Amino acid sequence: MSCLAGSKIVIEREKNKGIVLEEYKFNWAGDFPKEWQEVLTTLLNDDVLRGAAGRLVLLSDGDFSHFAVNACQVSQHVRINDETGTSQDCGLFNEETVPSETLFYSSLTSLRPVKDNPVFKALSGEQLVQFGGNGSTGLGFCTVNLI
């Protein structure tokens, strides 16, 4: 398994270079593309994203899919009955979350002119948006920027 990686995370031992993600070692095949790094680290006005310079990794689709399926945090919970304060029958559920600092990218298409679309107007400029449940626990908060 090999990858392209930023210099800050490359480990060198006995003239071999690689990186470690979770419990897997990847052979270093070269630097993460500088042009991509410049674009990715300046997409948002975000100190954490700017600090990612030198820490980005490019994996194959197969290696990345393994992490997407197997390395996301899964927390098990029990739904509590409000009246009794005890666990509710059939109340066991799992909650899967992506790691902090995950960067998502998507394209949006408007079926009407962009200037008249309320979604595009509401999201113009960089802002904080909360997706999904558990906003009170800090989950689901994302910085959104339409370019």
For 12-32, the DSSP string reads: EETTEEEEEETTEEEEEEEEP
Decide: 19 and 5 in contact? Cβ < 8 Å: yes
Alpha helical stretches, state H, 42-141: 47-50, 61-70, 118-122
Mean pLDDT of the chain: 86
Task: Give the per-residue pLDDT at 92.
Answer: 92
Q: Is the pLDDT of residue 93 over 80?
A: yes
pLDDT for position 57: 94
Quote the distance between the C-alpha of residue 42 and its chain's center.
16
Name the DSSP class of 136.
Answer: G
pTM metric for this prediction: 0.67
* Residue 88 banded pLDDT, cuts 50, 70, 90: confident
122: pLDDT strictly greater than 80: no
pLDDT digits (tens, 9 = 90+) for 22-56: 899 999 999 999 999 999 898 878 788 888 999 99
Given this model, what pLDDT does residue 8 score?
95
Report phi then psi at 16, rounded to 5.
-100, 135
Binned at pLDDT 50, 70 and 90, residue 16 comes out as very high
Q: How far is CA 70 from the centre of its chain?
A: 14
**Which amino acid would we find at residue 6?**
G
Altogether, the residues listed in the chain come to a count of 147
| Domain boundaries, given as residue ranges, for the chain | 1-60
Structure tokens at 136: 């009170």
- Give the rounded percent of residues in the chain with a pLDDT score beyond 70: 99
